[in-house]
């Protein structure tokens, strides 16, 4: 443990998770580490939930994280009804239900905004930060584990800090992090990253030792999510994407090495990166948020030279591989605060190719990534907006149908807008590719309906679009009373298909 807690005076702060959890009081705002179930605190939230369940004490907190965190935090605190307000992204089933049942307030935020909102005071006072770490340096610097997320800013602004030293996380992670917090406006300095592998900060998160109120030692592992096997539809989508990128190289809009890639999370995203492994591209670079199994494959094979992200979230097998070969990956991966991994300035500068997943798209190219049928929160916008708005090429992928074909993922009008027609350049389904760059709304509609819609729904979309064009205003033709009728019909009858 001396290897991990190198500051001798801090060793007196070691206590049990139960004792540390007593620092959490009703009404507090608590910011934690964690990004896409990795590197989040586990022992303290579990202790808090247990205490509330056994004593019946009333504790409601605002819970701010980097992105999604594991069941020990989001699951246990929502089941114990401890979360009053939650931001900015989640994927936990219990929490999703809790949000959709109206038990807590949920702010779905662009991930790059969270640290600066917190720093500017837009989110109120941060009473406590709970941060998972692999160690603490002699000076009190916190060495983060498998994710950086918002930890640097939360530590900077919180009144007190609880550190969870997780001994299941290898100490060799030390050196992978590059911590940099931008200065305050109005004279912000340029962030000096001009290459994916530039290091601009410190390998630990600076922290005033006097703020560290408790250190808890635990070995609970990250509750990583299994990845669904790559299905045929995802494979076809990935094939279309690779054809599209090859075409861009052929016409001289991209070099053979492409530009740095960002890829979202989930099965399609994983399949897309898997497809790159078999492609002819070489010497790829990734400037992304989350490093998943397929990214490790790309690094292993030498296809990709370097990956910058804010968290490592491999599957259980991936995690074993990562830990066994950590010294190999250490030269090829940098973990940055999400304010930097998702920063518009750098995304624009590096010319990122952003690939994200839609729940549904409409005929004009607007994207809904968050709200099923316009009202049921799925996960959140995550970093997809940060990347999409600022990318060199922004791409969305989605299967053309959902729920065994009863839902068309291409609809007349999306029931919730996350990414507008102004930001979306390319749409890909298993049916094909719609390259929307330089096209007007009506030109886009024709291409999306012809190239991306499922054959079952294509005639219905054509019919809608033709009739809409007969309405008075012809720039973005719509029939408002019918635009959301597909969703309405699904809710009433369980299908968007034409009823007999
Ligand atoms: O529902 O779980 O009930 O079966 O939506 O869909 O096909 O499993 O896809 O896991 O790749 O997630 C957009 C949610 C896709 C994700 C989204 C239903 C479908 C299923 C999930 P069930 P799939 P994925 C990087 C960037 C926003 C954040 C982001 C996401 C469930 O990618 O959260 O991009 N993106 N971040 O049945 C009704 C439709 C539907 C539908 C799918 N048209 N209508 N339901 N579903 N299409 C990550 C971070 O920022 C951290």
DSSP code per residue over 11-67: GGGB--HHHHHTT--TT-EEEE--SSSSS---HHHHHHHHHHHHH-----EEEE-SS
pLDDT of residue 313: 87
Q: Is there an atom of ligand 1 within 6 Å of 91 CB? A: no
The alpha carbon of 369 and the centre of ligand 1 are apart by a number of angstroms equal to 7
Span 87-109, mean pLDDT?
98
pLDDT of residue 141: 97
Q: Which residue among 378, 418, 419 is best mutated to probe the pocket of ligand 1, counting the most ligand atoms within 8 A of its Cβ? A: 378
pLDDT of residue 351: 98
Confidence of residue 496 (pLDDT cuts 50, 70, 90): very high
pLDDT of residue 271: 84
Among 194-208, 256-270, 328-342, which stretch is predicted with the lowest mean pLDDT? 256-270
Confidence of residue 317 (pLDDT cuts 50, 70, 90): confident
Confidence of residue 31 (pLDDT cuts 50, 70, 90): very high
Q: Is-catalytic flag, 317?
A: no
C-alpha closest to that of 336 among 310, 359, 302, 367: 310
Q: Is there an atom of ligand 1 within 6 Å of 496 CB? A: no
Span 133-150, mean pLDDT?
97
**Average pLDDT, rounded, for the chain:** 96
Q: How far apart are CA 298 and CA 290, in angstroms?
A: 14
Span 352-356, mean pLDDT?
97
Confidence of residue 417 (pLDDT cuts 50, 70, 90): very high
Confidence of residue 500 (pLDDT cuts 50, 70, 90): confident
Q: Is there an atom of ligand 1 within 6 Å of 89 CB? A: yes
pLDDT of residue 329: 96
Percent with pLDDT over 90 in the chain: 91
Q: Is there an atom of ligand 1 within 6 Å of 147 CB? A: no
Q: Is 264 annotated as a binding residue?
A: yes
ipTM of the complex: 0.97
Q: Is 268 annotated as a binding residue?
A: yes
User: Has residue 51 got a pLDDT over 90?
Assistant: yes
Confidence of residue 267 (pLDDT cuts 50, 70, 90): confident
Cis peptide before 88 (omega within 30 of 0): yes
Q: Which helix (H) or strand (E) holds 384?
A: helix 384-390
Token pair recorded at residue 133:
């770490």
Q: Is there an atom of ligand 1 within 6 Å of 402 CB? A: yes
The alpha carbon of 15 and the centre of ligand 1 are apart by a number of angstroms equal to 40
Confidence of residue 29 (pLDDT cuts 50, 70, 90): very high
Please, what is the Cα angle at 173 between 11 and 219, to 5 degrees? 55
pLDDT of residue 171: 93
Please state, as a whole number, how many other Cβ atoms lie within 10 Å of the Cβ of residue 180.
Answer: 17
Q: How far apart are CA 393 and CA 262, in angstroms?
A: 10
Kindly report the three-state secondary structure assignment for every residue of 401-447. EECCCCEECEECCCCCCCECCCCCCEEEECCEEEECCCCCHHHHHHH
Q: Is 266 annotated as a binding residue?
A: yes
Residue range 302-311, pLDDT digits in tens: 999 999 999 9
User: Has residue 150 got a pLDDT over 80?
Assistant: yes
Token pair recorded at residue 359:
């729940």
Q: Is there an atom of ligand 1 within 6 Å of 357 CB? A: yes
Q: Which residue among 65, 265, 380 is best mutated to probe the pocket of ligand 1, counting the most ligand atoms within 8 A of its Cβ? A: 265
pLDDT of residue 149: 98
pLDDT of residue 2: 86
Confidence of residue 474 (pLDDT cuts 50, 70, 90): very high
pLDDT of residue 272: 83
| DSSP assigned state of 311 | E
H helices present in 251-324, as ranges = 267-277, 293-301, 316-324
**Strand pairing report for 401-402 and 432-435:** unpaired
Contact 70, 225 (CB under 8 A): no
Q: Is 252 annotated as a binding residue?
A: no
**262 CA to centre of own chain:** 11
pLDDT of residue 336: 98
Q: Which of 289, 339, 421, 430 is catalytic?
A: 289
Confidence of residue 460 (pLDDT cuts 50, 70, 90): very high
pLDDT of residue 273: 85
Span 243-261, mean pLDDT?
97
């Amino acid at each position: 443990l001396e290897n991990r807690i190198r500051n001798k005076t801090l060793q007196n702060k070691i206590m049990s998770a139960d004792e540390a959890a007593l620092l959490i009081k009703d009404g507090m705002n608590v910011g934690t580490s964690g990004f896409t179930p990795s590197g989040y605190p586990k022992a303290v939230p579990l202790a808090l939930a247990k205490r509330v369940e056994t004593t019946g004490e009333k504790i409601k907190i605002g819970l701010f994280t980097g992105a999604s965190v594991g069941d020990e935090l989001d699951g246990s605190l929502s089941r114990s009804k401890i979360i009053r307000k939650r931001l900015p992204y989640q994927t936990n089933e219990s929490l999703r239900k809790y949000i959709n049942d109206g038990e807590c307030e949920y702010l779905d935020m662009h991930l790059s905004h969270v640290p600066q909102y917190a720093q500017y005071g837009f989110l109120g006072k941060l009473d406590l930060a709970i941060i998972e770490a692999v160690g603490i340096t002699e000076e009190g610097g916190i060495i983060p584990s498998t994710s950086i997320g918002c930890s640097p800013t939360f530590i900077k602004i919180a009144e007190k800090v609880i550190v969870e030293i997780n001994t299941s996380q290898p100490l060799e992670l030390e050196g992978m992090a590059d911590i940099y917090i931008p200065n305050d406006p109005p004279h912000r300095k340029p962030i000096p990253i001009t290459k994916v592998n530039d290091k601009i900060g410190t390998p630990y998160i600076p922290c005033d030792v006097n703020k560290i109120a408790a250190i808890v030692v635990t070995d609970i592992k990250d509750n990583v999510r299994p990845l669904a096997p790559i299905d045929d539809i995802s494979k076809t989508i990935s094939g279309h994407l690779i054809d599209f990128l090859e075409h861009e190289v052929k016409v001289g809009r991209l070099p053979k090495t492409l530009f740095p890639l960002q890829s979202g999370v989930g099965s399609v995203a994983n399949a897309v990166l898997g497809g790159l492994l078999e492609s002819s591209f070489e010497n790829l670079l990734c400037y992304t948020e989350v490093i998943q199994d397929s990214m490790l494959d790309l690094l292993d094979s030498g296809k990709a030279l370097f990956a910058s992200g804010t968290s490592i979230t491999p599957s259980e097998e991936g995690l074993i591989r990562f830990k066994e070969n950590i010294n190999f990956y250490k030269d090829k991966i940098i973990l940055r605060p999400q304010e930097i991994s998702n920063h518009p300035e750098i995304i624009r500068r590096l010319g990122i190719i952003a690939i994200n997943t839609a729940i549904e798209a409409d005929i004009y190219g607007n994207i809904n990534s968050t709200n099923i049928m316009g009202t049921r929160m799925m996960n959140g916008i995550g970093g997809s907006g940060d990347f999409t708005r600022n990318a060199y090429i922004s791409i969305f992928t989605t299967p053309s149908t959902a729920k065994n074909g009863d839902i068309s993922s291409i609809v007349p009008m999306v029931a919730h807008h996350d990414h507008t027609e102004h930001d979306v350049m390319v749409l890909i389904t298993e049916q094909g590719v719609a390259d929307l760059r330089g096209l007007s709304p009506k030109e886009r509609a024709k291409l999306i309906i012809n190239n991306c819609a499922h054959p079952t729904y294509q005639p219905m979309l054509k019919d809608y679009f033709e009739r809409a064009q007969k309405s008075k205003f012809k720039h973005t033709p719509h029939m408002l009373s019918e635009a959301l009728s597909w969703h309405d019909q699904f809710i009433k009858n369980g299908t968007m298909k034409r009823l007999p």
